[in-house]
Chains A and B, each alone.
Chain A
């Protein structure tokens, strides 16, 4: 029963699988699917409305109250449109690509814990028809790896869409997307490693459990939550945030579909339902990535139980609030920052984010080992930071030397000409 072992962390599946368990999993699947679709529809409306507010515009306000039904109207319009496949397109790949984009967005959401009371003894499990289960579709022991794997597969959606369209703009967009997503995938993964180091588990549920609880004491009374953003020292969070924005192809990293340069980028040739799928995937990815950030760095659904409502409902409330904060932030960033140039994008990714993420993981690892071995923490932390700074200086120097050499070579070549 390898499958059971892969999914076994959920208490629902620990006592073997019967009809009830299958039905419960089916129900959870349906609920998660529906929830995600509805939230995508709302997210598109939310994004358009908020970005209008941030730009002193009104935004959609005609379809339904406050324009809430605008997304449905747009979706209907898209589906009714003519479905075009360019004559030069590689038909099979062209048809496949939108699904490669949309499916990972769904699958990633499966491992996100969206509720449950983490203050009690059940560690986030709720009772559903007499069976204990987590408020997440699946809790594989490799949860975080699944997230990274899915985000890697999503690259294929962009790349193959660009490749198979048989047109130059999509091709350039696809090439850009591949390079960008592969580059930032590394920084993203290294930021995740910091979290995994602290939580000691790859399971998203365990990561949330590790962040739940009373929190650090500050000045006696006020407790700071034990969120990973503080425990890992903020830097991995910032790296993850930047890399995630790039991974989502959201502004200021939306070079893949830079309208001014590439028409529509990788989805230039797409229309109708296939385009709708890309559109859906884009916003769904924003939601799932925000949910992942909340899970990894902000304690997911963990939070205090204040009054009235049962604990598991408070979990949903906290999760939703945190999620909204990040959705707003993504929109805010989009409304504010201009797009990066391609070389700037690569410079940030390779020369700043990846070395910093790598160095920070090493520092965290050293601190962890030091704590386990009972070394003097001041020396460990200080020494690690000194090494980090020295390495950073060495890297900067190396980059400078390389650039100087490159420039002088260019000058020599010009002199020869």
Chain B
């Protein structure tokens, strides 16, 4: 009965278990609540600080330059000699992100040379006017405990579960562009968190491709050169980022 087969399909659905999670019920016990978020989920940004409280941002505007939505506005300024804001010459004097434009692509995080800007897992924030949508530097900068500022219109009820994960720590591309960095700590210490544990999981841990290439890169202590290619085992093609960044 070709025409009527569909009726059996839909009828069977009546008795199947629903997969929908009742988000509006706030606890797991009620069968609802927030789901566990993937570690690479892109939420609203934070500006990180070093463990001594110095800001990581150096006002280089690379994030603003790479932003496809052009939602970031940065102005750098020279550090005051007597009271520097960041280690080094300059710091981010103005830093604003317009969340009416941001598409959470994480390209700013990829571009940042100092891991100053990262993304949290927060996506539940609904402002009621356009001024609130533009986050200023004061709002983006982490507090003295290293946690994001929790603004009144943001739902941070699961901060305990997500605070450990900001997307820079697990970003898709490793700092120099080599996937082989996985399994090794590549991030500077952060206020409130210190040195975060290394990322795992892009390739099988301990595999030949992983350690061999990483060893070659790290052994040169700089950007990978031609001889790193020679060390690479035959099975590890497809590491496209590698040459392009060198």
Q: Which of A58, A335, A336, A337 contacts B20 (CB 8 A)?
A: A58
A-B contact count (CB 8 A): 28
Find the B residue at minimum CB distance from A57. B20
Quick one: CB contact mask for B10-37 with A, threshold 8 Å, 1 for yes?
1101101011101010000000000000
Q: Which of A55, A57, A337 contacts B6 (CB 8 A)?
A: A337
Let me know if A57 and B18 touch, CB within 8 A: yes
Q: Tell me whether A336 and B18 are in contact in the complex, defined as CB-CB below 8 angstroms, given that A54-B13, A62-B24 are known contacts.
A: no
Q: Which residues on B sit within 8 Å (CB–CB) of A335?
A: 10
Instruction: For the complex formed, measure the closest distance between the CB of A50 and the CB atoms of chain B, giving whole angstroms.
Output: 8
How many B residues face the partner with a CB closer than 8 A? 13
Q: Is A342 an interface residue (CB 8 A)?
A: no
Q: Is B9 an interface residue (CB 8 A)?
A: yes
Contact residues of A: prevailing secondary structure? loop
Q: Is A259 an interface residue (CB 8 A)?
A: no
Q: Which of B6, B7, B13, B22 contacts A56 (CB 8 A)?
A: B13
Quick one: CB contact mask for A29-60 with B, threshold 8 Å, 1 for yes?
00000000000000000000000011111100
Instruction: For the complex formed, measure the closest distance between the CB of A374 and the CB atoms of chain B, giving whole angstroms.
Output: 41
Let me know if A336 and B13 touch, CB within 8 A: no
Q: Which of A62, A332, A337 contacts B11 (CB 8 A)?
A: A332
A58 to B22, CA, bound (A): 9
Q: Which residues on B sit within 8 Å (CB–CB) of A57?
A: 18, 20
Instruction: For the complex formed, measure the closest distance between the CB of A73 and the CB atoms of chain B, giving whole angstroms.
Output: 15
Q: Which of A54, A56, A62 contacts B18 (CB 8 A)?
A: A56
Find the B residue at minimum CB distance from A334. B10
Quick one: CB contact mask for B211-227 with A, threshold 8 Å, 1 for yes?
00000000000000000
A336 to B22, CA, bound (A): 26
A57 to B10, CA, bound (A): 12
Let me know if A58 and B18 touch, CB within 8 A: yes
Let me know if A332 and B24 touch, CB within 8 A: no
Quick one: CB contact mask for B50-69 with A, threshold 8 Å, 1 for yes?
00000000000000000000
Q: Which residues on B sit within 8 Å (CB–CB) of A56?
A: 13, 16, 18-19
Q: Which residues on A sit within 8 Å (CB–CB) of B16?
A: 56
A62 to B7, CA, bound (A): 29
A58 to B7, CA, bound (A): 19
Let me know if A54 and B10 touch, CB within 8 A: yes
Q: Which residues on B sit within 8 Å (CB–CB) of A53?
A: 13-14
Q: Which residues on B sit within 8 Å (CB–CB) of A332?
A: 7, 10-11
A336 to B8, CA, bound (A): 9
Quick one: CB contact mask for B152-164 with A, threshold 8 Å, 1 for yes?
0000000000000
Task: Please report A residues at the B interface, Cβ cutoff 8 Å.
Answer: 53-58, 61-62, 332, 335-337
* Subset of 28 A-B contacts with CB under 8 Å: A53-B13, A53-B14, A54-B10, A54-B11, A54-B13, A54-B14, A55-B10, A55-B13, A56-B13, A56-B16, A56-B18, A56-B19, A57-B18, A57-B20, A58-B18, A58-B20, A58-B22, A61-B22, A62-B24, A332-B7, A332-B10, A332-B11, A335-B10, A336-B6, A336-B7, A336-B9, A336-B10, A337-B6
Task: Please report B residues at the A interface, Cβ cutoff 8 Å.
Answer: 6-7, 9-11, 13-14, 16, 18-20, 22, 24
